[in-house]
Amino acid sequence: MKKTTNKGLNRRDFLGLSALGLTGLTILPSYVINGVRVAPSDRVLMGTIGLGRQALSDFRGFAGAAGLQVVACCDVDTIKQQRYKKTVEEWQKSKGLAPRCDTYEQYERLLERKDIDVVEVVTPDHWHALMTIHACQAGKDVYVQKPLSYTIQEALVMTRVANDNKRVVQVGSQQRSSKEFQKAIELVQKGAIGHIEKIYAKVGDPPKPYDLPSMPIPGNLNWNLWLGPLNDDKIHYHSDLAPQITLDPVQNETLWGAWRWYLEMGNGYTADWGAHMFDIAQAAIGMDGSAPCEIIPKGYNGTEYMTFKYKTGVVMTEQPYLDDNPGAQGIKFIGTKGWIEVARGYIGCSDPSLIPAEIAGNRPQPRAQRPAGQAAQQRPAQQQRPAPTREGLQFEISSPHMQDFIDAVRSRKKPIASIEVGCSTAITCCLGNIANELKRPVKWDPATYTFIDDKEACSHRLMNYEYRRPYHL
């Protein structure tokens, strides 16, 4: 059993719950997953914190990872607790296991479980830091959804705590485990298209100020716990922030939690898709663990696109990577000898012979245009989202990424998207939004994690903000 430490925990409830570690023990027989028999001694038991549509998607990925079993879950919405519990227990029954998935409202209670080896943090971004830090301090390994953090300081503290406690942390940047992106990284690093001069990375717009009207808080939602450390008085409840569901009849979320589109609690598409595309771009050019040194916002002195400059001379711009499909998220590497385009399910190259046919996929095609005069049915921030499927949910099955995490937990080696990788990508996303909000360039020193001669940027909320009491970083 892993040694745990509670040093530095700052929620009073956490230290007073030691008895739960005795009552939560789960004893399970061996079972077969994907043709592999898993003995009890090889079992990795997981608790999931945050039970929205992304958690359901991730569960299907984790269910394909040999040796992992979810045994507990936590959410501030009691209805989502019950939905997740039902999903997990139905899967357990299908594998011949005794159904059990315990539910919690306070994540500290789940962390006190002595039988739980790993946790997944799949909450709104403002909760990633505290939950990951406390999980590491409790002796758990962590799979945390992207982006790693809401602020730069959070990312730095999370990385330090994970390393101090010798924890394995995988960030949910699952493109790192996809063959098309791995091939693009390989070709760029091998010099297949020469020296990289430019990168086009299409992710989408920065966040905007919160403008949703206030709504009554439903009885199934602990809104105070949902807010957690957020301290902005302008943040009031609206159902788009924590989309409601029903169990009878079954009605799942019809949209992603809209908190990500508002600057008071999220980082917009800059981080939502930037945590994927900027991540791959930095991996390809050898900037893992680093960041750009200058960021120029769109519109500054005629700058057409948000621009990131690296110390190597590479320039990355947030702009369309396909001329005929400007809204598609993806990346284009432009070198002295050619180009590479890559997106989910597609990789293309100026030299087609470099791309194996089995991973080439299909080039994204423009979506059908809305008839003239037809009004949009969603706010602009939602228009780029694909249509939901499977009972109102769109799933990303990322089993290879989850399996990489479980393999790292067993081997105690770094996973493919380590916390250091997530930290550097989160910093890049925050820097983009800081420059955008200041409406001028900012200069960053990746070696010291500081702005250069810029007090205004240093005091920006995305560098660090004061948590609402009693929370503190």
- pLDDT tens digits, 202-253: 999 999 999 999 999 999 999 999 999 999 999 999 999 999 999 999 999 9
Distance separating alpha carbons of residues 282 and 289, to the nearest angstrom: 9
Give the relative orientation of helices 78-94 and 53-62 as an angle to the nearest 10 degrees. Answer: 20
Tell me: pLDDT of 375 over 60. no
pLDDT band at 67 (very low <50, low <70, confident <90, very high): confident
Tell me: pLDDT of 422 over 50. yes
Tell me: pLDDT of 443 over 80. yes
For range 92-97, the mean pLDDT: 92
The pair of structure tokens assigned to 154 is 């959070």
Q: Report the 10 Å Cβ neighbour count for 22.
A: 11
pTM of this structure: 0.87
pLDDT band at 300 (very low <50, low <70, confident <90, very high): very high
Place of tokens 């929620």: 11
Tell me: pLDDT of 372 over 80. no
Amino acid at 375: A
Half-sphere exposure (CA, 13 Å, Cβ side) for 215? 15
Check: CB of residue 186 under 8 Å from CB of residue 326.
no
Phi, psi angle pair for 136, to nearest 5°: -65, -40
Alpha carbon 70 to its chain centroid, in Å, reads 19
Tell me: pLDDT of 195 over 50. yes
Q: What is the structure's pLDDT at 66? A: 86
Closest-CA residue to 138 (of 121, 154, 155): 121
Tell me: pLDDT of 334 over 60. yes
Distance separating alpha carbons of residues 299 and 242, to the nearest angstrom: 33
Tell me: pLDDT of 21 over 80. no
Tell me: pLDDT of 8 over 60. no
Give the relative orientation of helices 152-164 and 128-137 as an angle to the nearest 10 degrees. Answer: 10
Secondary structure (3-state) at 183 = helix
Spell out the alpha helix ranges (H) of 285-398: 357-360
